[in-house]
Amino acid sequence: MSQSQVSRGIPHNVTIGPKQLKGILTIPEPVIGIVMFAHGSGSSRLSPRNTYVAEKLQDRAIATLLFDLLTEEEASDRRNVFHIPLLATRLEEALVWTREDPNTAALSVGLFGASTGSAAALVTAAQNPREIAAIVSRGGRPDMAGAALAQIQAPTLLIVGGSDIGVLELNEDAYAELNCTKHLHIVPGATHLFEEPGTLDEVVEAAGAWFTQHLQAEEK
C-alpha cells in the first residue's frame, strides 16, 4: 500500500503478517500517532465497543488499526483466546507491519487492549520497549501478562469497572507489579463490558487523554 493509496480519514482494509490477518486502518488528518487494538475473548476487528473507541481516538488526531489477532479457524478453538504468547506474536507482527508501511512508519505507536488482548499488549510492550509509546487496558486481564508486567517501560493506563468483580482485583494486583509511569482508572458502577450509561464514554475520555499525552511526547 503506497502513500498515494491512503485517503486520510477513510477506513482502509489491510492484511497483516504471514496469516494475512484482516485489519482496518484509519489515518486522520492531522495525525500524531497510531493505536493498535488487541481484542480479547474472541472479538474481531468489527467489535462495536472497540470501533467506537477507535472513532473517538481518530477525532483526537490518532490513527487506528483494528485487526483480527486470530484466523477464523484459530478463533473457533476457544483455547486460543487465552493463548497469550500466540496473541502477542500476532500483535508483534502488526507492529512490524506498521514500521514497514510508509503510511504509518513514522508514527509513534500505542496499544489498546481489551480482556485477554490486554495481556498480549503488555507482553508485546515488554518485548519491544523502544517501539511502544503508551498502553491502555480496558476491562483487561493484565495479570495474564505475568512476569512481563515488571519489564514494561511504556506509560500504562489500566481502566476497569468498579463493579467488575474479580477483574477489578486482578487489575489492582497487576497495577502493583508495574514499575513504569502508570495509572489505575476505576469507572464507578461499570461492569466488564462497560454497558452502563456513560461508562464507555468515560473509558474513551480517559484513553484518549492518555494517548494524546504520551503519543505526542514520543512524536517522531
CATH at 201? 3.40.50.1820
pLDDT band at 6 (very low <50, low <70, confident <90, very high): confident
Cα–Cα dist 121/202, whole Å? 21
Measured distance CA(23)–CA(12) in Å, rounded = 8
| pLDDT at residue 42, as a whole number | 56
Amino acid at position 152, single letter: I
Check whether 216 has a pLDDT greater than 70: yes
Across 122-136, average pLDDT: 97
Q: How far apart are CA 54 and CA 34, in angstroms?
A: 10
Total domain count for the chain? 1
**What is the identity of the amino acid at 143?**
D
**Cα(81)–Cα(101) distance, rounded to whole angstroms?**
27
What the block records as the C-alpha cell of 200 is: 464507555
- Cell 487492549 -> residue: 113
Range with lowest mean pLDDT among 68-82, 111-125, 140-154, 193-207: 68-82
d(CA 215, CA 62): 9
pLDDT, averaged across the chain: 92
The model's confidence at residue 38, banded by pLDDT at 50, 70 and 90, is very high
Distance CA 179, CA 123 (A): 14
For the cut 90, the answer to whether the pLDDT of residue 9 exceeds it is no
Domain interval for residue 60: 3-217
2 has pLDDT over 60:
no
- Find where cell 489505575 sits: 184
Q: Which residues pair with 113 in a beta bridge?
A: 38, 137
| Mean pLDDT for the stretch of residues 99-107 | 95
